Structure formats: C-alpha cells, structure tokens
Amino acid sequence: MLRVEDIEFRYPHSDYRLRIDRFICESGKAVAIVGPSGCGKTTFLNLTAGILTPHSGTVAVNDIEISSLPPAAATAFRLSRIGLIFQEFELVEHLTVGDNILLPVHLGLGSQRQPIETEARQLATRTGIAPYWKKRPRHLSHGERQRVAICRAFSTDPNLVLADEPTGNLDPTNKRRILELMIDSAREHQRALVVATHDFELLDAFDEVHQFEELNTFREASS
Amino acid sequence: MNHVTSLPLLLLLLPSCVEESPPPAASNGDRGRPVLAAVNYPLAYFAERLAGDFATIHFEIPPNGDPAFWNPSDKQVTAIQEADLILLNGAGYAKWTSSRTLPFESTVVTSSAFENKLIRIEGDLRHSHKPGEEEHSHAGTAFTTWLDFKQASAQASEIARALAELYPTHRATVLRNLADLQQDLEQLDLHMFAATELLKEAPVIASHPIYHYWARAHGLEVHALLWEPEMELTQDALADLEALQDQHPGVKYFLWQGEPNPGHVAVLADLGLTSFVLSPCANRPENGDFLTVMQANIANLESLGK
Amino acid sequence: MNPAGIAFLSWKHLSHRPWRSLLLVLAIALTFSFPSALRVFIEESENVLRERARSTPLLVGPRGSSIDLTLNSLYFTPQELPPLPHSAYQNLTRGGFGTAIPLHARFEAQESPVIGTSLAYFDLRELTISDGRMLTRLGDCVIGARVAAEKGLTPGDKITSSPENVFDLAGVYPLRMRIAGILAPNHTADDDAIFVDLKTAWIIEGLAHGHQDLANPAAANAVRSRENNLIRANASVMEFNEVTEENIASFHFHGDAGGYPLSAAILIPSSDKHRALALATYQGEEATEQIVIPLDAVGDLSETLFATQKLALMAFRILGVSALGLAMLVFMLSFRLRDGEMRTYSKIGATRLTILSLKASEVAIVVVSAILLATLAVALTRSVAADLLARLLT
C-alpha cells in the first residue's frame, strides 16, 4: 500500500511547486493519475519512489516511511520493494534483455538472484519476450522494449509499482494488453500499482482515476 | 716376410666403397683409455711401443692401402677427430690431413724437430698405381721420414713428449718405453749403415721415389722410376730404365719397394741389375711389425753381398 | 551492493567496446611495461654480454678499437678491422700460453655470418651437434640452430657464400658449402652463424682453390704454356666452386700461409701465470697486435648501454605521463557520456556507493588487465632478451 500525506516539493531555481494533501493506493489496486504533459506526474512518481525527497510530508509504502529513511536506505528500499517503469523505458543498450530485466540483481539483490530470475523468466514468457532473452534491446520493437521494462519492474516482486506512461506509443491492442497484464499482476500479488497516463481510453481498467491537477493542491490553491 | 706393396690408391671417387663397415669410434668403448690415432703404420708402431700399456692405437687404413694417399670418409674423419692425440708425420705426408678438419690442439707433427732438414722434391711425376685410379704426385716434400732411423727416433721422441705432457702419470712408463724403442732404432740404424756399404760404390735405381731420407742417411745416390712391383714392363718402362742407366753408368742394383714379379727380376738381371727389396712399411704388414720388416730389409741388403 | 554484479556490469560495458577497451589496456600496459622491460632487457643483455665475454678469456687481434674487436669476435658484427696475419696466430700457439682458437669473420652466406675457426671453438662454446655431424673436410659447414630453422636447412643441403661485391669479378668467389650438421641452440650469436674450417674461409677468400688437372689432356684448352714440368694455365681454367669427394684433392693453397688473414684469435690461457705472460707479451708498445680482455671491453659497452637506458627512460616517463593522462581523460569522458545510464541505475535503486563502485570497477579491470599484460611483456622480454640481443648484434 502506498500512502502519501501532506507532501510539498519544489525544484530549485524553478517556479513549479507541488503539494499533495493525501493520496492512497491500496495493495492489489490499480490507480491511474491523469493529466497533461508537464503537469508534474513524473515528479509525483519520483517523490513516491524516493528518487526525490519532499521538503515536508510523508511517503510510506506498506507503513514504511521512506521519506524519513536516510538516502542509502531509501535507495535500497526502492531497489527491492518498488518497481519502476520509466516513460522512455531506460533500457541499457549494451546489456541483453535478460541482463536488463535482472538489473536489480546486478545492482544489489545478488542474494535473491534465483527467485528473481525464475520470476523474470516466467514474466518474459507470459509477455512474449522470452525468445529475446539473449538479444540486445536494439533488436526489439517499441512494444517489446516496453515489455522488457515491465518485466524488470515486476521481477523483484515489489510491493509498489510506479509506471510513467507505460503504454505510450503502443498500438491500441497492445496498450490494452500491457495494461491488463500489469493490473492482473498487481491484483494477483497484492501490489499497489500507480500509473501516470494520458491515455483516456484505458481508464476504465483502473480501480481509481485521479486528475493530477486536482491532486496537486498547490496548483488549486494558486489558481 | 711381408711388406707393404705399393698398391693402388683408395678410390677417391667412391670413398663409401672403401668403408665396408662403420669404423670404430676412435674413443669409444673403454672411455678411460686414451686413444692415439696415427696417419701411418710406423707412427702407429711407435705409439704402440710407447703407450700400448695404457692407450688404444687407432690405425684403420685398409690393408694394402697407401696411407700417404688415403682418402678417408666422413665417418673415418669423425672417428679420428675424437682421438686424444693425432700423430701426423709432417713433410706433407697424408695430403688428406690438409683438406680435412682435425682438432689442431690434439695433433702432434712428429717431424717438427727436423723440419728444417726436409728434402724438397722437384718435378711433377704424376702417376697412378693402377689403371683407373686417380693420379697423384710425389712432388713437393719427401715424406718417408722414418726410413732414416735417426729421424724415426726423433719422431718417436716427439710422440713421447706429447704423451708425457698429456698423461703425466704415465710419464715414467713412456720414457722407459722410449728408451727401449730408441735402442732398437739405433740398432737398426747401425745395421742398415753397415748393410748399405756395398751400395755406395755406384748409384742405385729405385722403383719409386720414396728413399730420399734413407739415401741421405747412408750417403747413397738413388734415382727413381715410377714402377710397381707387379706392373707389366712395357717398352716405355724399359726405355725409362735404360735412359737412367745411360745417365748414371755403373748402376748395379735395382731397389724395389715390394716383392717384384720374378719375371721382372730376370729382365733386370739381363740388364745387369740385381734386384732387392726395401719395404717402406708405411702400412701394417700382414706378418710381423715395423722392426721385423726393417730387419728383413737389412737382411735383403746383407744378402746382396753374399 | 553486489560486487559480482558490479564486476559483471563493468565487464559488459568494456566488452561492448572491445577495441576501445583494448587500446586503453595496451596504452596503460605499455606505459607500465616499457620502463621495466627496458630495464630487464638491458640487465639481461648485460648478463649475456658478460657471460659471453667471461667465457672468452682473451682476444688477440689487430690494433684498433677493442670494442669493435670484441663485438666482431663474440657477436660476429661486421667491423672494419684490418686482418690479423696467420703468422701472429702461429706465434700465439707456439708461445705456449694456452689454447689459441682462430677466428675468421669476414664473410656471409645469405646474410648469416660465415665463421672460419677450429674444432676447439665448439668445445669452448659448448656447442653440440643436434642433427648430422661435425665438420670433416674443406667445404663443409655446420650451421646455427636459428639459421637452420629460418632457412629450412638440414644436413646434406648446400648453402653458398655471398660475394662481397657483385661487381668485383676478381674478388671473393662464392663457395657452395655442404651442410654437415646443425648445432643445438645455445641462445647466443652462434645460433645465427655458419661455421667452417678456417681453411674453407680461406677458399672463400680466394687464397685456395681447386681446378681441373692441367696435366690432364681434357684440360688442354686451359693450358697457356707448358715448359718441362711447369704448366701455365689461361683464364679459361675452370675453378671449382664446390668441394666434392671427386675434386677435394685438387684444392691447394697459394702464397705464404703466414700471411693468410684472420679476424682474431681467442686465447684460453692454461694458467693464471700464462695469462699474465700473454698480457705482458701483447700489451707492450712494440707489439703489433693487441690483446683484449673481453670482460673489460663489455664493461665499457655496458656503461654506454646504461647511459642510453637512462635517456630512454627519461623520455618515456614524459610519454608515459601523457599516456596515463589521456587514459584518464578517456575514462572521464566515457562516464560523462554514460550519465544517463548511471541515472537509470540510481533510479532503479543503485546507491551512490554502487555507482562509484561501478566506475571504479571498470577502471580497475582495465588497469589490472594492463598490469597483467605488462607483467607478461616483461617476463617475455626476459625470456627473449638473449636471442633478441644476438639478432640485434649480428
């Protein structure tokens, strides 16, 4: 479960400010955050992931206040408990598909290699990218790369998955399929799934949909 | 009595035919026993007399071969290279030694003590000893040095010096053996001197130009042809003889290097020449040794006066 | 942090750019190895030179540069030295100082030096025959192991001496030599040389030859005049350019043997006293030859080598610093270009320590590989130094 309360954040040398009074995503639920590009969805996800630290407020995952953890601890928590799917996928081009999926293992979860790899290979099979396990990302289509990113995020059995525009640039059929895959997995394994998207035709698949402009109370207050 | 006849040269063209089986390595087998290689039989005999107790003498020239014109095979040269001492005659004897590779430090030039008294031979009397053989020449330096027994004694002395230097533990033995050998050579010299007295009256004609030192030692005048003991006496050969007789009137004796054909003796007798044999003993005799061969030579001379 | 994972990711990136990685490794390896390799080479060279010199007690040769004489005698390097007359060598042997070994090192055959000497040379250098047999006659040669290997020669083959000057028709006559044997390698200049009997060298020099028998009617065309027993040949007389069993008896020498040329003579004194006597005899002002202690001459050469080494190392240090600086720059630029990748790792959950370890690991792999390669290069230099020196000097 993800719980965000009273967080405030601003970038240095920028006018942009963010304030979220309250945001909750229960375990096993899929929540969509919609809003136009540049409204702060990515910033919000980075704050919930612990990549950025709010100036005030609390971010807790399964009651662990990651916003209060020292940076190293927060990072370690993110590595093992939070799965991230980036807008640009951010695959490492010189690693194979398999090594990209297992990046969390290489970066610190070596002791859990076996269960992670087992889960990763099953996911790869289910998402149809198992044949590309030893290939480099440049040999894959846009949709296949997206699936690699999804496998990477889910392989560590995270409590929380944050996905930033995961269906961007996919064709309608694949969009629906990818989203259903993510949501099914979240429900099956009781993960909290938060998806930032501006794909309105998919919103019916989510348990909750929030307009980010309504979430960001700073914006509301100033407008 | 057997003596070395002037037999055909070893085939220069086919040395491998001469070598019937691999020669024993000059220093094989008894590794602790020194090996002395000699280029001719007299030196081998001297070496045997001086060091036969403690050394092995290597002299592998085939019987009836002429050591002066021997052409050894590569294997035979290799065997000689391995000897501890290589006894050379000097005076240009054994031409093969100048065209083969021998370890200089191991060689002993036995005639070095009298090298300033060697006899130069003028002219180029090229010949072969039998049909089909490579011709050779006796021009250059006379090399049958041992036929002057004083020179032979000096050669033995040179061998003894080298042995004593190389094997100091056997010095006493060598010197003792040298004394015995030199006594024998001195006796030979005395008897030869006496036996050649009757040859001083007139020049002697010899079948082969190999008696220079013997002649000088005993004050004799010897003129040589190029005859072989068993060759056919052709008209040319007899003409050469007659020419020599005309040049040197009063010649009574004809000296053969080996036992001649009885027919030749008769022919010469008709020409007023008495034949006798003086074997140079350059190669190992079938019977006897150097001493007995020289004693036989002396006996031949002595029989002329009877 | 997962050290194995870090190493794995580092290795993956390095192997993704193999040529760049290899160049970096080579550049760093060269920077590390060159000074050490040079030092090792000089050290080994000095040892080899000293060993060769130590095993050559004394050299007697023509007056002139003692280093030239030493290099020519020990390494058969071509030198412009006057010849040593054979009579000087004969005097040396008669002097009773010890064993004198003649050396004639003027000619070549297919760029390998032809050394005329005696059998004692092979004992001195502990050279043995690995195939075939030792020299037995004029025209024979035994060849060094490397000559045989490089030219594909075996016993029984022939090799012809090279004319000094193709335009000098009256000069040195090429002699076709029979290879009697091949020497076992001894990692010195002897491996690159062709050894002949001294007299064979004189044949090449033109001081001896074999030709048709002028008394033979078959050679009538070659006879200019015949007077009594004196036969004069004309220019058409055929001289043999190879010694065979058939013609060996025809080979003869002309002139006074005392004047025949050598390059030098090695003297192995039979005792310290004889050594002192030899030095006293040949070091006098009136001596027409010089006597050299090769170890002393090599000592002088070593000093020159060390001075050269110092200069070379100084120059290389400057280059080395530049090379290392460039390598660091390459790494820095590479990491700068990979900022995005590192941010991805960070976002996924790599700590700052992990990111730092990743970069350090990559540098470490390159540096350790370079060090290993440098160590190998230095070890290789040590193992080939002797052979390399022999090649450089011949």
Q: What's the full length of chain A, in residues?
A: 223
Ordered alpha helix ranges (H), chain C? 3-16, 18-54, 66-75, 86-94, 119-124, 145-151, 198-205, 272-282, 294-337, 339-348, 352-393
B13: which chain C residues are within 8 Å (Cβ-Cβ)?
245-246
Q: Can you give the pLDDT at residue B65?
A: 86
Cβ of residue C69 closer than 8 Å to a chain B Cβ? no
What's chain B's Rg over C-alpha atoms? 19
Helix/strand/coil for C309: helix
Q: pLDDT tens digits for B167-219? A: 999 999 999 999 999 999 999 999 999 999 999 988 999 999 999 999 999 99
> By CA distance, what is C14's nearest residue in A?
A94
Q: Can you give the pLDDT at residue C230?
A: 54
Q: Looking at CA atoms only, how far is residue C352 from chain A in angstroms?
A: 8
Whether residues C350 and A80 touch (CB distance < 8 A) is answered with no
Q: Can you give the pLDDT at residue C220?
A: 60
CA distance C37 to C31: 10
Cα angle, residue A212 at apex, residues A206 and A216 outer, rounded to 5°:
140
Whether residues A72 and C1 touch (CB distance < 8 A) is answered with no
CA distance B224 to C389: 63
* ipTM, interface predicted TM-score of the complex: 0.89
> By CA distance, what is C195's nearest residue in B?
B101
CA distance C325 to B139: 84
Kindly state the percentage of chain A with pLDDT values over 90. Answer: 39
Q: Can you give the pLDDT at residue A88?
A: 86
Whether residues A72 and C349 touch (CB distance < 8 A) is answered with no
Q: Looking at CA atoms only, how far is residue B103 from chain C in angstroms?
A: 5
Residues of chain C scoring pLDDT < 50: none
Mean pLDDT of chain C: 87
- Exposure string for B32-64, b = 16+ CB within 10 A, e = fewer: eebbbbbbbbbbbbbbbbbbeeebbbbbbbeee
Q: Can you give the pLDDT at residue B59?
A: 96
How many C-beta atoms surround the C-beta of residue C246 within 10 A? 13
Q: What's the full length of chain C, in residues?
A: 394
Nearest to C136 among B77, B104, B124 (CB): B77
Q: Can you give the pLDDT at residue C245?
A: 86
Whether residues A75 and C351 touch (CB distance < 8 A) is answered with yes
Write phi, then psi, for B6 (nearest 5 degrees).
Answer: -80, 90
The helix (H) or strand (E) run that includes residue C172 is none
CA distance A73 to A13: 28
- Nearest Cα to B253, choosing from B194, B217, B305, B294? B305
The model carries a pTM of 0.68
CA distance B226 to A90: 112
Tokens 């997206």 appear where? A146
Q: What is the mean pLDDT of residues A177-201?
A: 88
Is the model's pLDDT at A87 over the cut of 90?
no
Distance of CA C122 to the CA centre of its chain: 17
Q: Can you give the pLDDT at residue B138?
A: 54
> By CA distance, what is B14's nearest residue in C?
C245
Q: What is the mean pLDDT of residues B221-233?
A: 85
Mean pLDDT of chain B: 86
Q: What is the mean pLDDT of residues B130-140?
A: 56
Q: Are strands A17-25 and A2-10 parallel, antiparallel or unpaired?
A: antiparallel
- pLDDT bracket for residue B3 (50, 70, 90): very low
Q: C touches A (3+ CB pairs < 8 Å)?
A: yes
Whether residues B81 and C136 touch (CB distance < 8 A) is answered with yes
Q: Which residues are registered as beta bridge partners of A20?
A: A7, A216
C135: which chain B residues are within 8 Å (Cβ-Cβ)?
101
Q: Can you give the pLDDT at residue B53?
A: 92
A-C Cβ pairs (cutoff 8 Å, strict): 73
> By CA distance, what is A46's nearest residue in C?
C347
Is the model's pLDDT at B18 over the cut of 90?
no
Q: pLDDT tens digits for A110-122? A: 888 999 999 999 9
To test the contact with chain C by mutation, choose from A46, A51, A75 the residue with the greatest count of C C-beta atoms within 10 A, namely A75
A92: which chain C residues are within 8 Å (Cβ-Cβ)?
341, 344
C344: which chain A residues are within 8 Å (Cβ-Cβ)?
86, 90, 92
User: For residue C332, which amino acid is it?
Assistant: M
C347: which chain A residues are within 8 Å (Cβ-Cβ)?
46, 49, 51, 84, 86, 90
CA distance B53 to B56: 8
Q: What is the mean pLDDT of residues A144-163?
A: 92
Cβ of residue C213 closer than 8 Å to a chain B Cβ? yes
Q: Can you give the pLDDT at residue A154?
A: 92
Nearest to C137 among B101, B105, B136 (CB): B101
Q: Can you give the pLDDT at residue B6?
A: 40
